[in-house]
Structure 1
Amino acid sequence: MLLNGPTLFVLSALVLSYLVTGLARRLNLRCLSDVIPPEFEGVFDPGQYRRSQEYMRAGARLEQLRESFDTFLACAFVLAGGIGWADSLARGLAGRLGLGELGVGLTFLGGLALAQAVLSLPFDVYATFRLEARFGFNRTTPGLFIADRLKGLALGAILGGTLVSGVIWAYMRLGSAAWLAAWGVVAGFTALMLWLGPAWLLPLFNRFTPLPPGELRSAIEAFAARHGIGLDGIFVMDGSRRSAKANAFVTGLGRKKRISLYDTLMDRLSHEQVVAVLAHEVGHSLRRHILKGFVTAMLKTGLLLAVLQAMLASAPLQLAFGVAQPSVHVGLAVFALAYQPLALLLAASANALSRRFEFEADAFAADSPERAKALAGALKELSVANLANLNPHPLAVWLHYTHPPVLERVRRLEDAARAGEAGMPTHN
């Protein structure tokens, strides 16, 4: 058993993260209530509302089980010297294949990623075919589920392997400037994925068909023209192949935007509500939220890569985990385990920024009382369709929510609609 200062630190980090997320989950469950908020009376019937509470409880139980399993396994892996064992295994395999140190690193990290994917598979299967099916959401067939996982593994190997290769090479070759080079690699790769992802990667998983001419397309084009938005296409995505849940998104880093609507969204909402949802998504683009989010994420990444470089400079730290020789890939694995509490804090700060962006996009969409009412109505309908939790605990929101609680969003939008009708300025 490996029990020393560095391993104790990693174990403490893992357990602390587990306890904090578990506390947030328990507090979230305590906030559940059978009382329907006044804003949702007549939208959520009592039976549906009770069903949304049970959906929340069932999901929380599965999350608790998954996190308990993951934390126990990670702690056991560290204590049993699993990092050193995996490193020796990777070195032996890479040696037989004639691979160098970079190949060893990719074998080591790829093996850990594959093991994690395999171990999480039972939870994914249960979530999809039992939990989501129980509440009427799942439409994924076993064949589609398998195809998605195989495509995900292939993309992870190709894209993830390329990114990790660049990072490992930088730390192996560039000395004190390594973290800056690795930062450039990650930033460039992320920007490339933002550009290529919508047109090249998403179609690997979903079909996108042009929205046919008609009232809805004309309304969307009129909205885009009014706001000076160039369109690179309006598409319907076959989200119903996997789930009954609904969504929409706008992509494109340049002047032209690509609009994608889930077919389930169009089945659920009126044309006015669909345009209001798209107005919200366009608001993200015009307010440069994608760019701001990218810059914020890259600043966080730069900080983490600088900390990683300082940790890699300490050979005794890695040797404490039972490895035969220090390496960049072992340092990456140890860092990924040790920084979990910091990851929670950084994610919470990013989520706070994201929630602010959501309010700003709502304010952009609510440019008239009619549009504000339409967006509020759309959020209500989607909350019912997705069995949303209307009253999450503040700690759960702070830690995990990228969107503000829907009840808060609806209240702001309805206040804006009333203010607009009264001729008063709004303060969304």
Structure 2
Amino acid sequence: MQNIVQILFYVIIGILVLDFVFERYLSVLNIRYSKNTLPAVLQDIYPPEKYARQQEYFRTNTRFGMLTSTVSFVVTILMYSLGGFGWLDHILSNYIDNEIWLSIVFFGLIFFVSDFLLIPFQWYDTFVIEQKFGFNKATPKIFVLDKLKSYLITVVLGGGLLYLIIWIYTLTPQYFWLIAFGVIMAFSLFMSMFYSEIIVPLFNKQTPLHEGELRDEIEKFANKAGFKLNNIYVIDGSKRSTKANAYFTGFGAKKRIVLYDTLIEKMSAEEIVAVLSHEIGHYKHKHTLINFLLNIPYMLLLFFFFGYVLQSDVFAQALGGTAASFHLNALAFSILYSPVSFVLDIGMNVLSRKFEYQADGYTAKLGYGKQLIMALKKLSADSLSNLTPHPLYVFFYYSHPTLYQRILNIDKTKLEPESKE
């Protein structure tokens, strides 16, 4: 038994180390590759002085991200190597008899201590790096309030969901994996439908897009595309950043399109329509539904193995515990399952990039290809995006194709202007 415990411990440490080294390797590759000459179709995005600034921004962010993740890695390795999680379990067990509350307090302490350690890095990123490059619009007050609201959501939603999951396990360990899977999927569906109505208003104001040229153009396009759209909202993203964005959310009657006010300020009506056309393309191709359905076997597999791991003492002992407990076993499982999750995530990223091509193609076939290219170029220039990421970095981490790949795809599929009739 002791040999199995030691093997599990070394496997956990090995996975953490390999993951860290692999991420550092890809980050270094990405930095080196960013120095390559831009393809001709991208050379009009940045004037020389702004491109130099983009390169500085990219390298600053990457190196700071590597520093932040290194600190997290060192703390995590020390906790695992020195039996810190087992020690915490032992201390809490002296004060908390209820297994459910023991696990909730255990995870709560880990979450809040981890987040507190990262607050200085988040502060520096917002008020030094983003401020230096002209992106940050948040004030210290907004930063603090966002933190407090995030904590409230974590305690209420995260804590409540965790309590329910652990309670299910205490009731029926045998069928826990199946019932917990159903609960998580129902919660995910609920949040995808009501996130914009419940969570977003805690951080941002959303107001219906007022009558005018832009709304007329959007509604005209929606009618042409056969897409019933009543909920078009503008979000005050400018209170935190100058970066622009837009997104589509919800199902059925709850579907809505949200435009950042910064997007409206920086783009023409036709370019915004092209961006929305891309989002509608996802809906027309049923990408959200497909992703949800594909997530079902993934989550079933995860909970099936999770249910098995929860009942074994050796997983808790590998972290310094004495017997199986929900929180220690869950922590061990999260690391041991990560290689499987990593492989599955690669597959989902490949599929996601294919979906992005399809949504771009949908826009191009409606005659908005040129406008979409202009919009994508503006978005990239506005956010100082890296235009030459390393292909390996793209393969492992990008859910979207690169801008260069998207432009080539749009040029292949877009129709001539007269087809817009």
Q: Please classify the TM superposition score into its range, dividing by the shorter chain length.
A: over 0.9
1:379 corresponds to 2:356? no
> What CA distance in whole angstroms lies between the structure 2 residues aligned with 1:285 and 1:415?
22
Seq. identity, %: 36
Residue pair 2:36, 2:388 contacting (<8 A) in 1 also:
no
Deviations 1:46-69 (A, max 9, x none): 111121111111111011111211
Aligned counterparts of 1:276 and 1:390: Cα–Cα separation in 2 = 21
- Report the equivalent of 1:120: 118
Partner of 2:391: 394
Please list the CA deviations of residues 361-390 of structure 1 after superposition, one character each: whole Å capped at 9, or x if unmatched.
Answer: 111111244x10000110011110011111
- Of 292-301 and 80-89, more deviation after overlay is shown by 292-301
Q: CA deviation at 1:13?
A: 0.6
Q: Which blocks of at least 5 consecutive residues in structure 1 are unaligned? A: 424-428
Aligned-partner SS, 2:70: helix
Q: Is the 8 A contact 2:315 2:332 kept in 1?
A: no
Distance 1:182 1:241 in 2: 38
Q: TM-score, normalised by structure 2?
A: 0.94
Q: CA deviation at 1:45?
A: 0.7
2:148 partner SS: helix
**Counterparts of 1:398 and 1:247 in 2: how far apart (Å)?**
23
- Match 1:17 to one of 16, 19, 22: 19
Mapped to 2, the partners of 1:129 and 1:299 lie a distance apart of 42
1:307 aligned residue (305, 313, 336): 305
Q: Which structure 2 residues correspond to residues 286-325 of structure 1 after superposition, within 5 A?
A: 286-325=284-323
Tell me if 1:194 matches 2:157.
Answer: no
Aligned residue type for 1:202? V
In 2: Cα distance, 1:119 partner to 1:339 partner = 25
8 Å Cα contact 1:81-1:321 kept in structure 2: yes
CA drift of 1:164 comes to 1.4
Q: Is the 8 A contact 2:85 2:328 kept in 1?
A: yes
Whole-angstrom distance in 1 between the partners of 2:68 and 2:346: 21
Moved more, 318-327 or 231-240: 318-327
1:242 to 227, 232, 240: 240
Amino acid in structure 1 at the alignment position of 2:394: V
Q: Where does 1:68-87 land on structure 2 (aligned, <5 Å)?
A: 68-87=70-89
Q: 1:426 is matched with which residue?
A: none
Residues 14 and 338, structure 1, Cα contact 8 Å, conserved in 2: no
What is the CA–CA distance in structure 2 between the aligned matches of 1:351 and 1:366, rounded to whole Å?
A: 22
| Greater mean alpha carbon deviation, residues 346-355 or residues 270-279 | 346-355
Give the C-alpha shift of residue 94 in structure 1: 2.6
**Which segment is superposed worse, 123-132 or 308-317?**
308-317
Q: What's the CA shift for 1:149?
A: 0.8
State whether residues 14 and 340 of structure 1, in contact with CA within 8 Å, keep that contact through their aligned partners in structure 2.
no
Whichever residue aligns with residue 325 of structure 1, its letter is A
* CA distance in 1 between partners of 2:366 and 2:65 (Å): 41
- Counterpart position of 1:412: 409
Give 1:286 shift: 2.0
2:274 aligned counterpart, secondary structure: helix
| 1:207 CA drift (Å) | 0.6
* RMSD of equivalent CA atoms: 1.9
Query: 1:68-115, CA deviations, whole angstroms, 9 ceiling, x for partnerless residues?
Result: 1111111110111111112123323434xxxx2111111111111111
- Offset of 1:116 from its aligned partner? 1.4
Partner SS for 1:209:
strand
Q: State the alpha-carbon separation in 2 of the partners of residues 240 and 299 from structure 1.
A: 39
Corresponding residue number in structure 1 for 2:271: 273
Alignment of 1:113-192 (within 5 A): 113-192=111-190
Write out per-residue CA displacement over residues 292-325 of structure 1, whole angstroms, 9 at most, x where no aligned residue: 1122233222211111122223212312322133
> Equivalent residue of 2:229, what SS?
strand
1-side partners of 2:254 and 2:101: how far apart?
41
Q: Deviations over 1:178-216 (max 9, x none)?
A: 111111111111111111111111111111112111111
> How many residues align structurally?
416
**Mean CA deviation greater in 24-33 or 310-319:** 310-319
Distance 1:316 1:269 in 2: 58
Structure 1 residues 93 and 400, CA gap change in structure 2 (3 angstroms): farther
Does the Cα contact within 8 Å between 2:246 and 2:263 map onto a contact in 1? yes
Q: Which residue of 1 aligns with 2:65?
A: 63
The alpha-carbon deviation at position 17 of structure 1 amounts to 0.7
Whether contact under 8 Å (1:183, 1:305) holds in the other structure is yes
SS in 2 for 1:43: coil
Cα deviation for residue 34 of structure 1 reads: 5.9
Secondary structure of the equivalent of 1:391? coil
- Pick closer, same or farther for the CA change 1:396–1:338 going to 2, 3 Å: same
CA distance in 2, matches of 1:36, 1:400: 21
Unaligned runs of 5+ in 2: none
In the TM superposition, what is the alpha-carbon distance from 1:126 to its structure 2 partner? 1.3
Letter in 2 for 1:405: T
Query: 2:35 aligned to 33, 55, 65, which one?
Result: 33
TM-aligned CA distance change 1:170 to 1:39, over 3 Å = same
The residue type equivalent to 1:308 in the other structure is: F
Partner of 1:50: 52
> Contact 1:43/1:380 (CA < 8 Å) preserved in 2?
yes
